[in-house]
Amino acid sequence: MKETIKKIYFILIIIMFFHCWGYCSDAMDRSFSMIFYVRPPGQTYGTGDGSSWSNAFSNLPKNLIRGSKYYMAFGDYDLGPFTTYYEYHSFNDPEEDELYIGIYKATQQDHGTDQGWNSSLGAGNAHLGTISFTTGYYVIDGQWGEKDQGYGF
C-alpha cells in the first residue's frame, strides 16, 4: 500500500512539473495582439501612427496599450531638458488582468514588419534615459548583447 501511494505521489509530482513547465514556457512566449514601431524623436515618420517602420511613432508614447508590443529602433531616446537627470519614461499604464506590454529592441532577426524596415534601424543600441515603473506586467527585451557589446538598450 505504501509503495502504491509513493508511486501516485511521484506521478503527481511529474504531472505538476510538466504542467508548470508548460505554463512557464507559455509565459515566456507572450503573444501580443497589436504591434507598434518606434523611432527616435526629432522628426515625423510618415503618418506617425506606429503602424509600420514607415509610419513609426516619433518616440515611445506616454500612454502604452496593454497587450501590445513596441519595437524600438536604435538611436537616442533620452533627449530631455536636463543633462544630469531626465526620466525618459514612467511605466505607469493601468494593469488589465495579466496583459503585458512588450518593449523590444528591434534587430535584423526580430523587427516585426518589413514595411519601411532597413537594417540600419537595428544596427545599434537604443539609448534610453532613466525609466521608472509604478505598475507591473512589462517585458523589456534588449534582444541580445552583454555589457557594452550588442544591440540592446
> Is residue 102 within 8 Å of 30, Cβ to Cβ?
yes
Q: How far is CA 80 from its chain centroid?
A: 22
How are beta strands 68-72 and 138-141 bridged, if at all?
A: unpaired
> How do residues 62-102 score in pLDDT, each as one tens digit?
999 999 999 999 998 875 554 445 567 889 999 999 999 99
Q: What is the pLDDT, as a whole number, of residue 14?
A: 53
82 is written with which cell numbers? 536636463
Backbone angles phi, psi at 72, to 5 degrees: -115, 130
Q: Does residue 35 have a pLDDT over 80?
A: yes
pLDDT of residue 116: 97
Q: Are strands 145-146 and 149-150 parallel, antiparallel or unpaired?
A: antiparallel
Q: Which residue has the higher pLDDT, 148 or 27?
A: 148
The per-residue pLDDT for range 113-144, each reduced to its tens digit, is 999 999 999 988 898 888 889 999 999 998 86
